[in-house]
Amino acid sequence: MEKYFIATGKSIDQAISTALAELKLDRAAVSVEVLENARSGFLGIGASPAKVKVTYEVPDPTPVEVKPADPAPALSAASRKPRKMAPKLEKPLEIPKPEPRREAPKAETPKTPRADQPKKPAPRREAPKAPAVTKTYAPAEPGSPEEKTEIFLKGLLERMGSDAVPHAVRTEDAINVELTGTDLGALIGRRGETLDAIQHLANYALNHDVSKRTRVNVDAENYRGKREESLQHLARKVAAKVVKYRKNMTLEPMNAYERHVIHATLQDVPGVTTYSTGTEPNRRVIVAYEKDQ
């Protein structure tokens, strides 16, 4: 079940932060629709704050089963009539005691559960947990671009007060670096801003004095993959709303990589088109309804 929360602020980012703080949710768990941009007005006249609509999902309520009360036992006709007293006898009657009968032992019959009696569920057997696999990294070749990247990032992380260790692996068109260690959240930062800055410095350090450029991708705790899945889910969700309500929707500011993910996800979706507007760092993606469809 979806719910939404409308927040205001001096800017769109401040309105989003206010909504996330009020809902106590992460940015990846919500979708944001910009309702109104902030207006400064003239000499303070006509100024209005930015307004955003934050949509989030909550679990459906579980219905409570109410059992009907048991009916009160009905009184028989005999119990409602007054009892007649037996006449008193002068001498008590002697009733002979019958001899006890010997009954053959009854064969025990298996009990069959009633149709209305719920069956007890069989105990679940939990599958044994697979042991954690420790990922191993091959050391970089001496003098290679991978080793230069690792040396630069190791020094940078030490100056940042982090004990994370970089591991560089060469692919066909890039050098992928994975950071391992503890407290990696501080290296990722809000919406990956710190991780993007580390990646930018690594690209500059490796390519500032060479003729052939090599792209460096820096990741930690698979943040890039998780963020890409979250953006793809957001793009499809917004596209469905655009087609349903036939109304354009503006997303929050994103960097070039995140905007590329939105464009690539919706390029083959019928009924919508995407384009970017604004200037960095507030450049946004607009998901527009195609009226010709």
Residue with tokens 């970017």: 276
Nearest to 137 by CA among 113, 115, 169: 169
Last residue of a domain, one of 167, 194, 221: 221
Across the range 50-77, mean pLDDT stands at 65
Instruction: Give the closest residue to 32 by CA, choosing from 48, 49, 13.
Output: 13
Bridge partners of 42?
Answer: 45
Asked whether residue 129 is domain-assigned, the answer is no
Of all residues in the chain, the percent with pLDDT exceeding 70 is 72
pLDDT value, residue 208: 86
Which contacts qualify for 14-23: CB closer than 8 Å, 24 or more apart?
Answer: 14/50, 15/49, 15/50, 15/51, 15/52, 16/52, 16/54, 16/252, 19/52, 19/54, 20/54, 23/54, 23/56
Q: How confident is the model at residue 278 (pLDDT cuts 50, 70, 90)?
A: very high
Predicted confidence (pLDDT) per residue in 125-156, tens digit = 666 665 545 677 888 888 899 999 999 999 99
Q: How far apart are CA 54 and CA 38, in angstroms?
A: 17
Do the domain assignments include residue 14? Answer: yes
Predicted pLDDT of residue 292: 64
Q: What is the pLDDT of residue 187?
A: 92
Q: Is residue 269 part of a domain?
A: yes
Report how far Cα 237 is from the mean position of its chain's Cα atoms. Answer: 14
- Residue that is last in its domain, among 35, 57, 79: 57
This prediction's pTM: 0.53
**Domain boundaries, position 24:** 2-57
Torsion angle in degrees (nearest 10) through CA of 167, 172, 174, 179: -20
Mean of pLDDT over the chain: 80
188 has pLDDT over 80:
yes
Band (259; pLDDT cuts 50, 70, 90): very high
CATH at residue 200: 3.30.300.20
Asked if residue 202 and residue 159 are part of one domain, the reply reads: yes
Residue 42 in any domain: the answer is yes
pLDDT of residue 119: 62
> Regarding beta strands 215-220 and 174-180, do their DSSP bridges make them parallel or antiparallel, or are they unpaired?
parallel
Give the model confidence (pLDDT) of 68-96 as tens digits: 555 555 554 545 555 556 555 555 555 55
Name the domain count of the chain.
3
Does the residue 207 lie in any domain? yes
State the Cα–Cα distance between residues 248 and 246, nearest whole angstrom: 7
